[in-house]
């Protein structure tokens, strides 16, 4: 995945929560996104692997 492909889900997640400014992203927001990734199910119903979670988090 490219950087933008890894970052886009976070941007979408933030927008769904009304977070539209970088200044609104706090540690608690990042922790919430990490919890979301931990429970995220792909189209095939499988959980996102730890490596996939890490890739998306490090893009932020």
Q: In which band, very low, low, confident or very high, does the pLDDT at 1 lie, cut at 50, 70 and 90?
A: confident
pLDDT in tens, 8-54: 999 999 999 999 999 999 999 999 999 999 999 999 999 999 999 99
Classify residue 20 as exposed, middle or buried by CB count within 10 Å of its CB (0-12, 13-18, 19+). exposed
pTM, to two decimals: 0.89
Cβ contacts of 7 within 8 Å, gap of 6 or more: 56, 59, 60
Q: How far apart are CA 35 and CA 30, in angstroms?
A: 9
Q: What are phi and psi of 25, to 5 degrees?
A: -85, 110
């Amino acid at each position: 995945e490219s950087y933008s492909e890894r970052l886009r889900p976070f941007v979408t997640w933030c927008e769904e929560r009304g977070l539209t400014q970088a200044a609104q992203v706090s540690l608690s927001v990042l922790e919430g996104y990490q919890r979301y990734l931990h429970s995220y199910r792909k189209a095939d119903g499988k959980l996102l692997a730890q490596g996939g979670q890490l890739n998306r988090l490090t893009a932020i």
